[in-house]
Each structure stands twice: as structure tokens, then as C-alpha cells.
A and B are shown apart, each in its own frame.
Chain A
């Protein structure tokens, strides 16, 4: 097995911390604390981008790092914070169902990611394999969070942490997507966040809460009179 360089080790460490924060996000019942965890994850992804940029000679990664830090580490958490305040959710705690089981499921997802990636990059470096597995795990745990959390803001956090995982994969496995794609994705994420904000208000107006379990009028056979 070839020795990993220092920079690669740093990238792996940061990515592992991002994965750890995914677990925190999944189990954190307090909304504001979850938003903070998400912000830290954004900062870590930005740091990974910066280190990869330093390691290689891809200059546009510095720009990406700045963009990620601004968007995922500062702007989106700030928007979520403001929304939580305006919707009186600052002290909101969500009731989690079977937290231990969900965490176990997340652990299984991490193992699954490694299993999936194992044959894919057999010939490639250990580094690439690890980083793709970790980012896939972040994506899948984000997905799990969207399935299990019943609170609209928490679901959005899951969505955004999926985006973090995707960005991590793009940056560390392939040294960043072409700039036009990166800008497009960032634009889409920003617009999505603005729309999510609009929807929080529409949902709380229509069901008096942000618990999406109460969005249950549309079923397969019955149509409300």
C-alpha cells in the first residue's frame, strides 16, 4: 500500500470530520444546533477544497473554496437561522423516532458505500477510494435524514448536506468540476434555499406547523371533497 502524502491525509481527516457531522445532523433534535452543525460541515468542505487546491495546481479551486465557504458555511446557515427565528423555531426540539436505529442505519450506509466503491477504483489509490466512499456516505446519510426527520427545516438540512457530500466527491475525487458547472450548481442551490424559505411560510400558513407528517391530504384513492 502506498503511503499517503501529508496533504492527502489532511483531506481525509477533514472529510472524515464532515462525515461525523452528518451523524451529528442526523441525531441532533435541537434545530439551531443542527443548523450550526451544518455550517461547520460547510466550512470543512471548503477547507477540503482549499487543501486540494494547494496540493494540485488547479487554481480555480481557490475560487470554489471561497464560494463554498460563503455559500454553505455562512449564507445558507444564516438564512436558515433567520427563518427559524421568524418562524419562532429558535427553541424548537424535534421528537425523534428510534434515534438509535436511525444511527445504526447510517452506520450500515457507510459500510454500504465502502462496499460499493471497493471494486470501482481497485487499481486507483487508496486515497481516491476512501474519499469517494466517504462522500457517498455523506450523500446517503443526507438522504436518510430527509426520510426520517419530519420537520421541514430538518429536511432541508438533509438536502443541503447531500449537496455537501456531492461537492466533496467532485472536489476530492476529480479536483473539481468545470467552473461553469460549479457556478451553475451553486446558483441552483442558492435559488433552492430561497424557495425553501418561501415554502416554510406557505407550509406553516397552511398547516400551522412545519411538521410535514401533517401534509397528508393527497393520497392515492381518496380526493378531499
Chain B
């Protein structure tokens, strides 16, 4: 319980303090210190959960499924703040933003971390909604931080689309509460996930079916599922790069986490009806469409950050498909994929941040010869893209292999779609990547001060996960799989 409180209080107090710190030099360090403390508390919590299995109380509930996402969130929070400190100072020094904007940035960074952690750990579906809406509110000012017309447009689109999406999710939540009222006597417990999960089979299937459609469309907007994905490439490309890293690496995961939790309820409620797998089928449909469409769009991109945000949509689609497929193997693969995708994608966005500073532009055509100019950045970008495209020996290969195996076992025909989708995405990424890293550098392109530690750390971990999954992680993922599907994999 102490660990849990510490995890929530650190970003809260940190965010409030950072709103007051005027010196940009201090703010970056303080932001890092707050993130490190959060990570420490998260590790402590993970250790406790490993012993006790479930920690619950005061409206929170931490089990195997969310604890690993809590640690992942805190970890990416730390590495991104390592990156963001010199990066944002560079941006500030180049006159793109004022010191006031930098204060807003740091404060909202921690506010965003807070909402992510609350969304992950809460046991209450209403609070989950409030936290995910809070995440939109915390990041929307950051998307428009540079105040260019494009940035303002991206932020407005993000605000409106996610606002609408999340409103539909609230309607779904109200319907769930309505269904719960006929089952749970204590009305204050009617939105508590653990209570609902225990009595899921008693929830009215007709209501839950309609509720799930609203919830899926609502939270699916935040996951970036096609066709509700319009905000995602804009917000990623126009916001500051550290924000793109945490949006892609964390926010999408948390939204997907919400969808999976709700799917567990709906599955329980529909188990005895004529369509027991309705929720899974919806997820598979949305997932496959997102996966394919995003893979095709990769080919048409001209902006490097837009390109990688489409790659995120593609991977979220794949995970959504896998969770929809169900079964212990697919779920295990999807959980692992959540982990390796977050690590790889945030590493890529960090490298892209440096690359855009080197080239002075985000346009792919004008980013050339990165390896010549600054080998560290060039090679990191190359390795990152190799990892995300699913090459062995990186972890993404392992999880995609598991997913394909699971698909082959249950729905063999979908394997064709998945493999061709992966090939299309691979081609899309490499046709743009190749000229960016190899080739001659344009005249006057200068290396920038770059701290590659976060990238090395992330890619190192992804490599490790590709070679062997450590025992404690395998146990965690296994427990989470058991929680979601009811059956262990290992």
C-alpha cells in the first residue's frame, strides 16, 4: 500500500513543484529525479505483487496484468526524461518555445505519468475513464507546444476526436453500471472491476453487448484503431519528440489495457449466449483492419514522425487482433508484444528526435546520410527499425512469432493476412529508412549533442528479451495470461 501511494504521490507532487520551477536547467534534472523515484516505487510494488499476487484496497487493485505495465510505464518515463532534458533545452535555446512553455511541458509530463499510473492501477471503471480523459487533457497542450499552425491544428484534432471517443466510452461505462445495478446490491461497488468480474456471468448480456461496442469505439480511439486513428499521426508528428515517445510507448498501451479489462467482463457475461466470442471477434476485426491499413499508409509518408506513428498503429492493431483471438498463447504473445513494442518504439522516437535536430527538418527526403554525419544516431535508427520490423534476434520477432503460431493453430487463414501485412510494413519502413541512414550527407550537416544511453538501454533490453526471457518476467506474463484467459501457457 505504501508503495502504491508513493507511486501516485511522486508524480503528483513532482508535477506541482515543476510548475513552479523557473530555471530550465534545474527543471530537467528535477523531472528526471521524480521519474526515477516513481520507477523505484514501481519496482518495490512489483516485488510486493510478486509475493502477494494481488494488492487491493482503497479503490486500487494491482495484479500481474497491470503491475508489469506500471513498471514499464515508469521505466519509459525515466528513459524519456533522460532524453528530454538536453533535447528540450536545445529546443528552448533555439527559441522555438519560451521558458514558460518549458515549465508547462515539465509539469504536464508528470501529470501525464500520473494519469497513466492511476488508469493502470485503479479498480474502478469510472476512475479509469477519468484518468484516460485526464491523459488527453495533460498532453493536448503539449501537442500545441510549438504554436505553429500545424501544431495547433494537430492539437485541436486530437482534443476533439479523443473527446468524442472518450465520451462514447463514458456512455459504455454508464451502461455497464446500469447492468451492474441489477446484480450488485451495493451501488458504490457497481463500477468496481473486481466485483463485476466475479459476477460477470450474471450481467445482462444484451446490455453488456451494446456497452462493449461503445467502450471499444471509445477507448479504441485512444488505442489508434482505424478508422478512429486520425488524430494519432498528427499529434505524434507535431508535438515535441519526447511526447511522441511516451504517447506511442505508453498511452496506446494503457488504452488497450482498458479494452482488454472490459473484454474480460463482457466475455464472462456473454459466455452462455449464442455469441460467446463477440467481443473477441470485434477486436480481431478492428485489429486486422488497423494492421493492414497502417501498413499500407507507411508507404506514403513524407514525414519521419508520421511514418513511425503509422507503425505504432500497425503494432497496436496486431496486439488488438491477438487479444481478440484469445487463448493463452496469443495472449502471452500480445502481452510480450506490448512490452517490446513500447521499448522499441520509444527508442526509435528518441533517435528520430536527434535525427531531426541533425537534419533540421522532419521531412524524410531531406534527412540523408545519418551514418556519415553521426554514426551513433544512424546506427541506432537502423537497429531500431530492424527491431520493430520483427527481425531476429530482437524481442519483437519472438512475440510476433508467438502470435503467428497462435493464429496458425486456431484461425490458419488469418496467418496469410498477417504475414503479408508484416511484409508490406517491412517494405514501407525500409524504403524510407535506407536513404536516410546510408548515402552521402548533405553539405553542412552537423552532428548534435546526443545522449544515446536511453536508446542503448531500450534496444539492449529488447535484444535480451529476444534471446531469452528472464524467469521473473516469464512468471509475470504467465500469471497475467492466466488472469486474462483462465489458462496458463507455461
A199 touches B127 (CB 8 A): no
A185 touches B156 (CB 8 A): no
Interface residues of A in 168-225 (CB under 8 A from B): 169-170, 173-175, 177-178, 180-181, 184-185, 187-188, 191-192, 195-196, 198-199, 202-203, 205-207, 212, 215-218, 220-224
Given contacts A159-B164, A215-B156, A217-B149, whether A195 and B141 have CB atoms under 8 Å apart is: yes
Query: What residues of A have a CB within 8 angstroms of the CB of B302 in the complex?
Result: 221-223
B108 CB to closest chain A CB, in angstroms?
11
A188 touches B133 (CB 8 A): yes
B408 interface residue (CB < 8 Å to A): no
A104 interface residue (CB < 8 Å to B): no
B470 CB to closest chain A CB, in angstroms?
37
A191 CB to closest chain B CB, in angstroms?
5
A218 touches B150 (CB 8 A): yes
Contact with B along A38-51 (1 / 0, CB 8 A): 00000000000000
B86 interface residue (CB < 8 Å to A): no
A193 CB to closest chain B CB, in angstroms?
10
B181 touches A178 (CB 8 A): no
Given contacts A120-B206, A191-B137, whether A181 and B153 have CB atoms under 8 Å apart is: no
Report the separation of the CA atoms of residues A210 and B163 in the bound assembly, to the nearest whole angstrom. 19
Query: What residues of B have a CB within 8 angstroms of the CB of A174 in the complex?
Result: 174, 177-178, 181, 187, 190
Pick the contact of B130: A119, A122, A187 (CB < 8 A).
A187
Pick the contact of B127: A136, A165, A184 (CB < 8 A).
A184
A35 interface residue (CB < 8 Å to B): no
A162 interface residue (CB < 8 Å to B): yes
Report the separation of the CA atoms of residues A212 and B167 in the bound assembly, to the nearest whole angstrom. 21
A181 touches B130 (CB 8 A): yes
B199 interface residue (CB < 8 Å to A): no
Pick the contact of A178: B124, B148, B157, B303 (CB < 8 A).
B124
A176 CB to closest chain B CB, in angstroms?
8
Report the separation of the CA atoms of residues A152 and B206 in the bound assembly, to the nearest whole angstrom. 37
Contact with A along B260-277 (1 / 0, CB 8 A): 000000000000000000
A159 touches B160 (CB 8 A): yes
B460 interface residue (CB < 8 Å to A): no
Pick the contact of A166: B59, B134, B170, B188 (CB < 8 A).
B170
Interface residues of B in 275-303 (CB under 8 A from A): 297, 300, 302-303
Query: What residues of A have a CB within 8 angstroms of the CB of B362 in the complex?
Result: 223
Report the separation of the CA atoms of residues A132 and B206 in the bound assembly, to the nearest whole angstrom. 14
The tally of CB-CB contacts under 8 A between chains A and B is 140
A100 CB to closest chain B CB, in angstroms?
24
Given contacts A206-B147, A217-B149, whether A181 and B137 have CB atoms under 8 Å apart is: no
Contact with B along A135-158 (1 / 0, CB 8 A): 010010011001000001001000
B461 interface residue (CB < 8 Å to A): no
**In the complex, which of the residues B157, B181, B210, B238 has the most CB atoms of chain A within 10 Å of its own CB atom?**
B210
B126 interface residue (CB < 8 Å to A): yes
B159 CB to closest chain A CB, in angstroms?
7
B210 touches A223 (CB 8 A): no
A54 interface residue (CB < 8 Å to B): no
Report the separation of the CA atoms of residues A205 and B237 in the bound assembly, to the nearest whole angstrom. 21
By secondary structure, the A interface counts as helix
Query: What residues of B have a CB within 8 angstroms of the CB of A152 in the complex?
Result: 156
A173 touches B124 (CB 8 A): no
**In the complex, which of the residues B124, B177, B181, B238 has the most CB atoms of chain A within 10 Å of its own CB atom?**
B177
**In the complex, which of the residues A175, A195, A196 has the most CB atoms of chain B within 10 Å of its own CB atom?**
A195
A215 touches B124 (CB 8 A): no
B314 interface residue (CB < 8 Å to A): no
Given contacts A166-B171, A195-B137, A199-B159, whether A206 and B149 have CB atoms under 8 Å apart is: yes
B355 CB to closest chain A CB, in angstroms?
16
Pick the contact of A177: B126, B154, B163, B207 (CB < 8 A).
B126
Report the separation of the CA atoms of residues A215 and B156 in the bound assembly, to the nearest whole angstrom. 9
Query: What residues of B have a CB within 8 angstroms of the CB of A199 in the complex?
Result: 140, 144, 152, 155-156, 159
Pick the contact of B190: A139, A166, A178, A205 (CB < 8 A).
A178
Query: Which residue of the partner chain A has the closest CB to B138?
Result: A191
A116 interface residue (CB < 8 Å to B): yes
Query: Which residue of the partner chain A has the closest CB to B303?
Result: A223
Given contacts A120-B206, A184-B126, A195-B159, whether A159 and B137 have CB atoms under 8 Å apart is: no
Contact with B along A109-136 (1 / 0, CB 8 A): 0000000100111100000000010001
Query: What residues of A have a CB within 8 angstroms of the CB of B204 in the complex?
Result: 120
B238 touches A136 (CB 8 A): no
Given contacts A177-B177, A224-B150, whether A203 and B156 have CB atoms under 8 Å apart is: yes
A203 touches B152 (CB 8 A): yes
* 14 A-B pairs in the complex with CB atoms less than 8 angstroms apart: A132-B175, A159-B160, A159-B164, A174-B178, A180-B126, A181-B124, A181-B130, A187-B130, A199-B140, A215-B152, A217-B149, A217-B150, A218-B154, A223-B306
Closest 5 CB pairs of A and B: A181-B126, A184-B130, A215-B153, A206-B149, A206-B152
Q: 16 extra interchain contacts, Cβ-Cβ under 8 A, other than A169-B174, A173-B178, A199-B152?
A: A120-B207, A136-B171, A152-B156, A155-B160, A162-B164, A169-B171, A175-B187, A178-B190, A178-B191, A181-B127, A184-B127, A184-B129, A206-B149, A215-B153, A220-B297, A224-B150
